Amino acid sequence: MKSQSMNMKIKLLMAGVVVSLAFGAQCVAQGNNGPETREENRQVDQSNHQQALHEGNQQEPKAAPKIDPKEEADYKAFYDSNPQDADKKIELGKAFLQKYPMSRYAESVDAGLVQAYYLKQDWKDFYATSDQALALNPDDAGVLTVTGWVIPHVYNPNDPEAPKSLDKAEQYEKHAMQVIQAMPKPAAMTDEQFTQSKTALLSEAHSGLGLVYFRRQQLDDSVKELQQATQSAPKPDPTDFFVMGVDFQSLGRNSDAIDAFNKCAEIPGGLQDRCKQSAETAKKQTAQPK
């Protein structure tokens, strides 16, 4: 389980935050060569939490169809395949859906493929498979959460559909929160495991929603969501602290910005130096006479 927890960590999909204090504008710029790897502090296996809650949220059909041993074996091969080997996961998943299009496991396979396409940063197939999974089960908390998180991270402000995409992400994250809160505990999970899984996914949903509001420049709402994300996360994401710091700067709350940047700077990773510099900048602004 420990090795799996290192395989499916959520990645940082922002190339960086460009802050223009002179004009009070902010934007999260996407790199030309694709998103960067998310900070290594995120130790919680989000995919395992999603899968655990996904399994617990499944409802048995009233009249279960006769079990096909070959179908069961093919699903087990997909389910047990190395989550780090996205290409193999995709190969097995696509083959399964082609062979058993009406399988009771179809939505579960789609959900697994969403994670595989996510790892490959294949956003076209990621979104298409997410749509397929949610068409079969609109209450799949794992798919809702990760899709709502990805949308604002790979957001292109020049895309005419960008506002609609943010609306979709907001809807997904809010619905995910409702589903997670109401979800019954799976029999196979302990109370502690269930609480940890719910907390991790709720933190991710608040993180995604916080960035949606940041994109829209709804700064107070962004701060509120990012505070909830960082307060509940077992291993807070430095990106959330960094964006929160930018929010606070734009709101003229430099003391709060310094605190957020300092918390970001305490976490080893690619944002550490930038957060230190941002904290120093905020300190200088605070010291300037008004």
Residue 241, in any domain of the structure: yes
pLDDT band of residue 28 (cuts 50, 70, 90) is: very low
Full-model pTM = 0.79
Residue 231, in any domain of the structure: yes
How many other C-beta atoms lie within 10 A of the C-beta of residue 217?
A: 14
Of 290, 270, 213, whose CA–CA distance to 246 is shortest? 213
Is the CB of residue 155 less than 8 Å from the CB of residue 127? no
Rounded Cα distance between 42 and 129, Å, is: 25
Residue 244, in any domain of the structure: yes
Residue 11 in this model has a pLDDT that exceeds 80: no
- Strand locations in 190-275, DSSP E? none
Dihedral sign, CA of 5, 236, 50, 192? positive
Residue 200, in any domain of the structure: yes
Where in the sequence is the domain holding 23, given as residue range(s)?
2-57+139-285
Q: What does the pLDDT read at residue 24?
A: 25
Residue 50 in this model has a pLDDT that exceeds 90: no
CATH number of the domain at 236, please.
1.25.40.10
Q: What does the pLDDT read at residue 36?
A: 36
Of 19-28, 39-48, 213-222, highest mean pLDDT: 213-222
pLDDT, tens digit, 9 for 90 and up, residues 258-285: 999 999 999 999 999 999 999 999 998 8
Of 106, 107, 127, 132, whose CA–CA distance to 117 is shortest? 127
Give the strand pairing for 25-29 and 16-20: antiparallel
pLDDT band of residue 64 (cuts 50, 70, 90) is: low
CA atoms within 13 A on the CB side of 22: 0
CA atoms within 13 A on the CB side of 163: 2
Residues 6+ apart with CB under 8 A from 274: 16, 242
Rounded Cα distance between 206 and 222, Å, is: 9
First-residue to last-residue Cα distance in the chain: 55
Phi-psi region of 82 (alpha: psi -120 to 50; beta: other; left: phi over 0): beta
Residues 6+ apart with CB under 8 A from 72: none
Residue 258, in any domain of the structure: yes
The mean predicted confidence, pLDDT, of the chain is: 81
Rounded Cα distance between 198 and 180, Å, is: 6
Rounded Cα distance between 284 and 82, Å, is: 49
Residue 18 in this model has a pLDDT that exceeds 60: no
Residue 96 in this model has a pLDDT that exceeds 80: yes
Residue 169, in any domain of the structure: yes
- Amino acid found at 28: V
- Strand locations in the chain, DSSP E? 16-20, 25-29
Residue 130, in any domain of the structure: no
Residue 211, in any domain of the structure: yes
DSSP 216: T
Domain tally, the chain: 1
